[in-house]
């Protein structure tokens, strides 16, 4: 077997406090029609978006460790941060509801968007549905003031607070996707697939860092990362730092990153701003596999997958695994653009034109 499951530091990982949120393993499914359209006959989708808690998503893997640490410390209140349509905030609110923890979401209007759909629907409505208290801030300065107030209120009321960083992305959050990568390797081994390339996003960083570290520990997996938030130089530095910090928690040496390829070619104007290629990727996944991407994370990774396939980045028989990190509710924050995008022509025709031009 190619994957070194026996040599994986499972004991060290299992020694870290962790809470069971259910829903694992998430499915690993073939995508033959999408693969045919892209010229990738061995394309698979790792469906972390269909986790049953809180409409699913990748942050739940990180939250098993963050909330495990919170419970171990006796916390009864969780504070975390994000943009208005943060998937991380929504998943934190759902996990806190399941565990009986108070959830405070401090959200900053940092994406250049406005309007009823973005400011009231999507993840924001689910945050409140799951019982979170939502604090909307204009900028980082106000975010800091609100956080300080929440900490002071908790202290006055005798509550114990656990603070989770943006996206759950720190050394502890990285362990969530180290564990998820082991899960993926077991699924691939069960299918008789000894080598594969994993396609994933980089935003706050712990998802891609966990996959990078986990794949280095297991062997047999290459990693292709699409930047969806920060430009390549910043993302590369962030990735290396989180990989090193996650390795330190497992008491292993930080691995070389020579099995990783990283690109910011589909980031567009910046975080939370979809491009034409983003919407084309949403149409392509929807019309070939009935799979829904979102315009912030998976849509830009989907656009990267289309671009990379057209460039011949993958060998013809190579197994490629697209990690679907979720984000469906956020799609409705972009309702006007979403409606316009799905009324356009079939994206498969445009893809064919692009492939013929290579």
Tens digit of each residue's pLDDT (9 = 90 or more) over 72-103:
999 999 999 999 999 999 999 999 999 999 99
- Between CA 299 and CA 160, with CA 139 as vertex, the angle to 5 degrees is 95
Q: What is the pTM of this model?
A: 0.95
In angstroms, the CA 286 to CA 77 distance is: 38
> How does residue 344 score in pLDDT terms, banded at 50, 70 and 90?
confident
Nearest to 24 by CA among 65, 54, 66, 53: 53
51 and 191 in a single domain? The answer is: yes
338 and 202 in a single domain? The answer is: yes
105 and 178 in a single domain? The answer is: no
Q: Report if residue 1 sits inside a domain.
A: no
257 and 279 in a single domain? The answer is: yes
347 and 231 in a single domain? The answer is: yes
> How does residue 269 score in pLDDT terms, banded at 50, 70 and 90?
very high
Q: Which of 143, 168, 193 is the last residue of a domain?
A: 168
142 and 277 in a single domain? The answer is: no
Quote the number of domains for the chain: 2
> How does residue 65 score in pLDDT terms, banded at 50, 70 and 90?
very high
Query: Parallel, antiparallel, or unpaired: how do β-strands 43-47 and 28-30 relate?
Result: antiparallel
As a whole number of Å, the CA-based R_g of the chain is 20
Supply the range of the domain harboring residue 205.
10-56+169-356
Query: Parallel, antiparallel, or unpaired: how do β-strands 161-163 and 196-202 relate?
Result: unpaired
Q: Which of 147, 168, 189 is the last residue of a domain?
A: 168
Query: What pLDDT was estimated at residue 173?
Result: 98
Query: Parallel, antiparallel, or unpaired: how do β-strands 196-202 and 221-227 relate?
Result: parallel
296 and 246 in a single domain? The answer is: yes
Instruction: Supply the DSSP string of 84-104, one letter for each residue.
Output: TT-HHHHHHHHHHHHHT-EEE
> How does residue 312 score in pLDDT terms, banded at 50, 70 and 90?
very high
- Other CB atoms within a 10 A radius of the CB of residue 106 amount to 24
Q: Report if residue 5 sits inside a domain.
A: no
Query: What pLDDT was estimated at residue 7?
Result: 94
Report the chain's mean pLDDT, rounded to a whole number.
Answer: 95
Q: Which of 119, 137, 168 is the last residue of a domain?
A: 168
Digit-coded pLDDT (tens) for 270-310: 999 999 999 999 999 999 999 999 999 999 999 999 999 99
In angstroms, the CA 203 to CA 190 distance is: 30
Q: Report if residue 3 sits inside a domain.
A: no
128 and 238 in a single domain? The answer is: no
- Other CB atoms within a 10 A radius of the CB of residue 111 amount to 17
DSSP H/E element including 75? none
280 and 174 in a single domain? The answer is: yes
In angstroms, the CA 271 to CA 256 distance is: 28
85 and 124 in a single domain? The answer is: yes
Which 8-state DSSP code applies to residue 350? H
Query: What pLDDT was estimated at residue 353?
Result: 44
205 and 347 in a single domain? The answer is: yes
């Amino acid at each position: 077997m190619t994957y070194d499951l026996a040599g994986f530091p499972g004991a060290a990982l299992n020694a870290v406090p962790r809470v069971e949120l259910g829903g694992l393993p998430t499915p690993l499914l073939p995508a033959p029609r999408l693969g045919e359209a892209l010229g990738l006959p061995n394309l698979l989708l790792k469906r972390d978006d269909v986790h049953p808690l809180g409409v699913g998503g990748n942050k739940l893997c990180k939250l098993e460790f963050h909330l495990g640490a919170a419970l171990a410390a006796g916390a009864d209140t969780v504070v975390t941060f994000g943009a208005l349509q943060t998937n991380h905030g929504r998943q934190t609110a759902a996990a806190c509801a399941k565990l009986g923890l108070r959830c405070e979401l401090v959200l900053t209007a940092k994406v250049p968007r406005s309007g009823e759909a973005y400011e009231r629907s999507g993840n924001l409505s689910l945050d409140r549905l799951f019982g979170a208290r939502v604090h909307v801030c204009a900028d980082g300065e106000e975010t800091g003031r609100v956080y300080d107030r929440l900490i002071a209120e908790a202290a006055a009321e005798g509550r114990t607070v656990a603070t989770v960083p943006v996206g759950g992305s720190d050394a502890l959050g990285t362990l969530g996707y180290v564990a998820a990568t082991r899960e993926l390797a077991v699924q691939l081994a069960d299918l008789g697939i000894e080598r594969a390339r994993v396609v994933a996003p980089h935003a706050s960083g712990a998802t891609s860092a966990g996959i990078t570290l986990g794949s280095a520990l297991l062997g047999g997996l290459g990693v292709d990362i699409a930047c969806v938030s920060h430009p390549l130089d910043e993302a590369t530095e962030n990735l290396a730092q989180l990989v090193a910090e996650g390795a330190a928690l497992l008491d292993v040496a930080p691995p070389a990153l020579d099995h990783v390829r990283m690109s910011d070619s589909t980031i567009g104007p910046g975080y939370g701003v979809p491009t034409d290629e983003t919407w084309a990727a949403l149409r392509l996944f929807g019309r070939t596999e009935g799979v829904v991407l979102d315009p912030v994370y998976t849509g830009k990774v989907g656009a990267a997958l289309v671009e990379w396939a057209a460039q011949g980045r993958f060998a013809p028989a190579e197994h490629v695994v697209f990690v679907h990190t979720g984000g469906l509710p956020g799609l409705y924050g972009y309702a006007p653009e979403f409606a316009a995008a799905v009324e356009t022509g079939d994206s498969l025709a445009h893809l064919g034109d692009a492939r013929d031009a290579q």
